[in-house]
């Protein structure tokens, strides 16, 4: 099967009726790039930078980060890489960053919330990303955005970083694209407003499902309630996609659901043509995509919108799924 799938790597990524889609890879290190290319990914849709900060005793300096981001940008040879700013806290800890003990870490001090306090760390990372933007197609992604105010404050630090680099005469792309993760219900519900302030959305279904359903994604006891096919999740996705399309804001999905073959009819129904997933999923999703019909989109949504349970959702999805091989 793997051999048959491998043959798909070089085919164009189009539905049976000719709609182009983009299947990018989620990575956390340079090591993964070889597989990214081998599987014919359209680029890196999510570079989780946390791992650069882990298993060490102090924060990585700007130079070290720059070298990594630059290498990724260069090795992709012009294909885009979306670099997400540090998303620690919650389930991810750094030995050298003292964070408060929290009763509910997922609802606590994490990601952009930390970086907007520690603007020194934030600016160092943004400078490194900006510098790398000179060497390829680099985009910036902020995690855990819940409000326009957080976005504005993050962009202020970005502007400071740009100004410093410009004053120093260090090259960077001044028109670098900036996007946000849509992974909080709050962001979904104001996605019409956010869409007007960013270049792109990347939906993080892992956290979105956790927060929509109030199910801690790390908690085994409630793991059976963690249900990406819950109709409430579908509706959140629909709201976000409609707002993005209305405002001409680019939209992609980078949570685990993007790499779940069963979800492909959802993206077709919502008119989402960009997905980013673990590299092992790309060819499996592509296999299904090549046999799907973009023109089924409206019909699929009509059926999904009428579903009252995740079991019904899965039944509808299965009907539209072709998975030869
Ligand atoms: C997500 O929340 O869906 C996501 C892609 O980010 P992470 O899994 O790193 O929180
Ligand atoms: Mg997340």
- Distance between CA atoms of residues 301 and 237, nearest Å: 12
Q: Whose CA is nearest to atom 3 of ligand 1?
A: 204
Q: How far apart are the CA of 95 and the centre of ligand 1, in A?
A: 21
- Positive or negative, the Cα torsion across 33, 39, 42, 45? negative
Q: What is the pTM of this model?
A: 0.97
Please write the tens of the pLDDT for every residue from 94-145. 999 998 899 999 999 999 999 999 999 999 999 999 999 999 999 999 999 9
Q: In this predicted model, what pLDDT tens digit does every residue of 68-89 receive, in sequence order?
A: 999 999 999 999 999 999 999 9
Residue with the smallest CA separation from ligand 1 atom 9 is 48
Ligand 1 atom with the smallest distance to the CA of 48 is: 9
Strands 22-27, 44-48: pairing kind: parallel
Closest ligand 1 atom to residue 26 Cα is 5
Point out the ligand 1 atom lying closest to the alpha carbon of residue 50. Answer: 9
Give, using CA atoms, the residue closest to atom 7 of ligand 1: 206
Residue 183 Cβ < 6 Å to ligand 1: yes
- CA-nearest of 239, 227, 207, 244 to 110 is 207
Nearest residue by C-alpha to atom 1 in ligand 1: 204
Known catalytic membership, residue 307? no
The phi, psi pair for 139, rounded to 5°, reads -125, 155
Among the options 76, 254, 268, 290, which is catalytic?
254
Cα 64 → chain centroid: 24
Does ligand 1 lie within 6 Å of residue 85's CB atom?
no
Q: Is the CB of 48 under 6 A from ligand 1?
A: yes
What's the CA-to-centroid distance between 203 and ligand 2, angstroms? 9
Q: Is the CB of 206 under 6 A from ligand 1?
A: yes
Residue 206 CA to ligand 1 center (angstroms) comes to: 5
- 203-to-41, 161, 292 alpha-carbon distances in Å: 18, 26, 22
Q: What is the pLDDT of residue 90?
A: 82
What pLDDT sits at residue 91? 75
Placement of tokens 């991810």 in the chain = 92
Query: Which DSSP state fits 39?
Result: T
Give the DSSP H or E segment for 290. Answer: helix 282-290
ipTM exceeds 0.90? yes
Q: Which residues of the chain, if any, have pLDDT below 70?
A: none
């Amino acid at each position: 099967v793997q051999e048959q799938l491998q043959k798909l790597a070089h085919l164009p990524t189009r539905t049976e009726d000719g709609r182009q889609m983009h299947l990018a890879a989620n990575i956390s290190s340079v090591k993964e790039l070889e597989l990214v290319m081998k599987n014919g990914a359209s680029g890196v849709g999510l570079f989780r930078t946390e791992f650069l900060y882990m298993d060490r005793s102090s924060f990585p300096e700007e130079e070290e980060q720059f070298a990594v981001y630059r290498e990724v940008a260069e090795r992709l040879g012009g294909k885009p890489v979306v670099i997400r700013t540090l998303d620690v806290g919650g389930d991810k800890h750094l030995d050298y960053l003292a964070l408060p003990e929290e009763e509910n870490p997922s609802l606590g001090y994490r990601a952009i919330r930390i970086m907007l306090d520690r603007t020194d760390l934030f600016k160092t990372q943004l400078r490194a990303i900006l510098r790398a933007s000179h060497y390829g197609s680099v985009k910036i992604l902020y995690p855990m955005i819940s409000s326009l105010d957080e976005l504005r404050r993050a962009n202020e630090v970005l502007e400071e970083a740009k100004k410093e680099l410009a004053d120093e005469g260090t090259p960077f792309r001044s028109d670098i694209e900036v996007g946000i993760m849509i992974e909080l219900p709050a962001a979904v519900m104001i996605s019409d407003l956010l869409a007007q302030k960013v270049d792109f959305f990347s939906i993080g279904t892992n956290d979105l499902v956790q927060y929509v359903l109030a199910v801690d994604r790390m908690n085994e006891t409630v793991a059976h309630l963690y249900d990406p096919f819950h109709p409430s999740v579908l509706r959140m996705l629909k709201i976000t996609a409609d707002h993005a399309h209305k405002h001409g804001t680019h939209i992609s999905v980078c949570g685990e659901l993007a790499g779940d073959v069963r979800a492909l009819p959802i993206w077709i129904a919502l008119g989402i043509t960009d997905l980013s997933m673990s590299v092992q999923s790309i060819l499996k999703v592509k296999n299904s995509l090549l046999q799907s019909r973009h023109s089924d989109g409206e019909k699929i949504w009509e059926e999904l919108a009428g579903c009252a349970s995740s079991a019904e959702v899965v039944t509808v999805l299965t009907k539209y799924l072709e998975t030869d091989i």
